[in-house]
């Protein structure tokens, strides 16, 4: 037998892999996920290092003599309606788009975990009430809910300054709105993990030692339910960036002066035929980042959550 020829050292060396290493090994086997990582790194460098070449003032510099000019040496990506440089705007817009995507997921994970964990852990009437509510929100198409919520909160939020830069107040609103319309799927996953995990011995043991409910939920059960949460949250970032783009494209998202990849497209839509560069660059960047995050999320699922349905079917 092949295994008999392995000596003890080799077997020990095998067992020495930590769960993290095992996951990394599985992740590396997923070629698309590695490509995704590289695209993500590239995009991160683009929006961070790019800021050293262009100031935010460059990105917002209005020059009407230069308006709607095609890509050239001076403006590699061309200029928009107000003569602003598209390259500089994709850099600063990208920062906002990515920040919105990540923060929105923080909101949606917080809400989703709280609701899912409470429902799954306590069960009974709390569970059925929370799940009814979740189902109700789930039944409204997200984009419709986004539009209504964005309008609901849109009443003149003041601009604010953070780390020396001025942002449109709508950034905060969009983060909240996207977060509040995307937690339902996660809540269901967390609930079902909690339903099965709470019956396990380690939970009984924790309860026997007198741990409080909050401590059992967050310190004992939640760490065991992390894998699907991480995978879902990763994929959710892609969705959040897309949602921002959709809502901004429809003109109800982030408002000027703050640029995002989404609202750059909104301005470009009317210049569809004349100035394709206005929508081509921000649109392609959105496509790239969503694609890369989906690749990485898929790889993470294979690595962290091999029992999950989608992973097992491969």
Partner 1 sequence: MTRYIVRRLLQAVPLLIIITALLFILTANLGDPLAAFGGERRRLQPADRARLERQLGLDRPLVEQYVIWLVGNDWMKIDLDGDGVADSYGTRKGVLRGDFGNSFQERRPAIEVIGERIWNTLLLMVASEIIVIVLAVLVGTFSALHQYSFWDNLITTLSFIGYSMPIFWLALMLIYLFGVNFQRWGLPSLPTVGMYDLSVGPTVGQIALHMILPLTALSVVSLAAYSRYVRSQMLEVIHQDYIRTAYAKGLPERNVLREHALKNAALPLVTIVGLDLPLLLGGTVVTEAIFGWPGMGRLFWKASNAGDIPVTMGILLIIAVLVVVFQLITDIVYTYFDPRIRYE
The binding site for partner 1 (CB under 8 A) comprises 32, 132-133, 135-144, 147-149, 151-152, 154-155, 238, 242, 245-246, 249-252, 265, 268-269, 272-273, 276, 279, 283-284, 286-287, 290-291, 294-295, 298, 310, 313-314
- Comparing CB distances to partner 1, the nearer of 92 and 279 is 279
Tell me the three state secondary structure of residue 183. Answer: coil
Tell me the three state secondary structure of residue 236. Answer: helix
- Comparing CB distances to partner 1, the nearer of 66 and 97 is 97
CA distance 104 to 107: 5
Q: Shortest distance, CB of residue 24 to partner 1, whole angstroms?
A: 22
- Comparing CB distances to partner 1, the nearer of 18 and 313 is 313
3-state DSSP of 157-182: CCCEEECCEEECCHHHHHHHHHHHCC
- Comparing CB distances to partner 1, the nearer of 192 and 224 is 192
Q: Shortest distance, CB of residue 148 to partner 1, whole angstroms?
A: 5
Q: Shortest distance, CB of residue 51 to partner 1, whole angstroms?
A: 24
CA distance 296 to 279: 26
Tell me the three state secondary structure of residue 166. Answer: strand
Q: Shortest distance, CB of residue 283 to partner 1, whole angstroms?
A: 4
The answer to whether 92 and 123 have CB atoms below 8 angstroms apart is no
The answer to whether 160 and 175 have CB atoms below 8 angstroms apart is no
Which pair of structure tokens corresponds to residue 208?
């026997």
Q: Shortest distance, CB of residue 78 to partner 1, whole angstroms?
A: 15
Q: Shortest distance, CB of residue 295 to partner 1, whole angstroms?
A: 7
The answer to whether 255 and 170 have CB atoms below 8 angstroms apart is yes
- Comparing CB distances to partner 1, the nearer of 152 and 218 is 152
The DSSP code for 168 is -
- Comparing CB distances to partner 1, the nearer of 56 and 298 is 298
């Amino acid at each position: 037998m092949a295994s008999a020829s392995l000596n003890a050292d080799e077997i020990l060396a095998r067992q020495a892999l930590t769960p993290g290493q095992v996951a990394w090994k599985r992740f590396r086997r997923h070629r698309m996920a590695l490509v995704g990582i590289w695209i993500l790194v590239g995009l991160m460098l683009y929006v961070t290092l790019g800021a050293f070449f262009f100031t935010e003032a460059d990105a917002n510099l209005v020059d009407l003599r230069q308006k709607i000019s095609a890509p050239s040496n001076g403006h590699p990506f061309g200029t928009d309606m107000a003569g602003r440089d598209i390259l500089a705007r994709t850099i600063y817009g990208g920062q906002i788009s990515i920040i919105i995507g990540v923060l929105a997921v923080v909101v949606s994970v917080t809400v989703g975990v709280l609701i899912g964990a409470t429902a799954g852990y306590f069960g009974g009437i709390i569970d059925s009430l929370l799940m009814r509510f979740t189902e109700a929100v789930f039944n409204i198409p997200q984009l419709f809910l986004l539009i209504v919520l964005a309008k609901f909160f849109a009443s003149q939020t003041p601009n604010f300054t953070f780390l020396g830069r001025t942002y449109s107040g709508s950034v905060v609103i969009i983060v909240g709105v996207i977060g509040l319309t995307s937690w339902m799927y996660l809540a269901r996953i967390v609930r079902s993990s909690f339903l099965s995990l709470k019956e396990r011995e380690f939970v009984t043991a924790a309860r026997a030692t007198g741990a409080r409910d909050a401590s059992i939920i967050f310190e004992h059960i939640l760490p065991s339910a992390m894998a699907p949460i991480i995978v879902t949250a990763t994929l959710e970032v892609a969705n959040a960036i897309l949602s921002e783009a959709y809502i901004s494209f429809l003109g109800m998202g982030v408002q000027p002066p703050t640029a995002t990849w989404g609202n750059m497209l909104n301005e470009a839509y009317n210049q569809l035929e004349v100035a394709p560069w206005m929508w081509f660059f921000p649109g392609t960047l959105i496509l790239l980042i969503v694609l890369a995050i989906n690749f990485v999320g898929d790889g993470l699922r294979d690595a962290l959550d091999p029992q999950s349905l989608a992973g097992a079917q491969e």
